[in-house]
Amino acid sequence: MHEDFIKQALIKRNDSLIKTEKLFIANKSRWFAAFSEHFQSICTEIVKQQSESSIPDISRLEYIMMYTNFINRCYIAEVYVFDDKLYLDKNQRVISEYDVSFLFIYFDELWDNLISLRKYYIGKVTNREISAFMIETLVTLREP
């Protein structure tokens, strides 16, 4: 990727991360309440399905968001349930979804900005490189 593009992209990334942090701080109480309500509804649905013998006892519940969802700019986490075999569970299933697009407003904006910036670097920056940069941005979000 072109060196000047990287410099500009890193500045834009940092700006995006700062905006995201401010957004999170301003909304965290409301978002936690909404998440708790969603989690409670999932638990209720699991109990209902277990009473109908649709699913066995579960030992793990995970909210999972695939990198392909990010690449497709679809910010939906799937909620999986597993039995005691965990990932070897042949009956693992998606029991629900959770839209987290509200957390990725500035991530999406960054993506649009990089695509627009790419026009000044024709032949020097590819869409695949922008996708890789955005995935790298997600890894940055995970770091302590």
Please list the pLDDT of the chain residue by residue as tens digits (144 residues): 789 999 999 999 999 999 999 999 999 999 999 999 999 999 998 888 888 877 777 888 889 998 899 899 999 999 988 877 656 656 667 889 999 999 999 999 999 999 999 999 988 999 999 999 999 988 876 655
Rounded Cα distance between 144 and 141, Å, is 8
Domain assignment present for residue 94? The answer is no
Domain assignment present for residue 91? The answer is no
Rounded Cα distance between 24 and 51, Å, is 38
Rounded Cα distance between 74 and 72, Å, is 5
Residue 18, amino acid: I
Rounded Cα distance between 132 and 125, Å, is 11
Domain assignment present for residue 12? The answer is yes
Rounded Cα distance between 113 and 96, Å, is 32
Domain assignment present for residue 82? The answer is no
What stretches of 52-104 show up as alpha helix (H) in DSSP? 67-71
Domain assignment present for residue 28? The answer is yes
Helices 105-118 and 127-142: crossing angle, nearest 10°? 150
Domain assignment present for residue 95? The answer is no
Residue 137 near residue 24, CB atoms below 8 Å: no
* Predicted pLDDT of residue 89: 55
Domain assignment present for residue 138? The answer is yes
State how many domains the chain has. Answer: 1
Rounded Cα distance between 27 and 12, Å, is 22
Q: What residues make up the domain containing 120?
A: 3-59+101-142
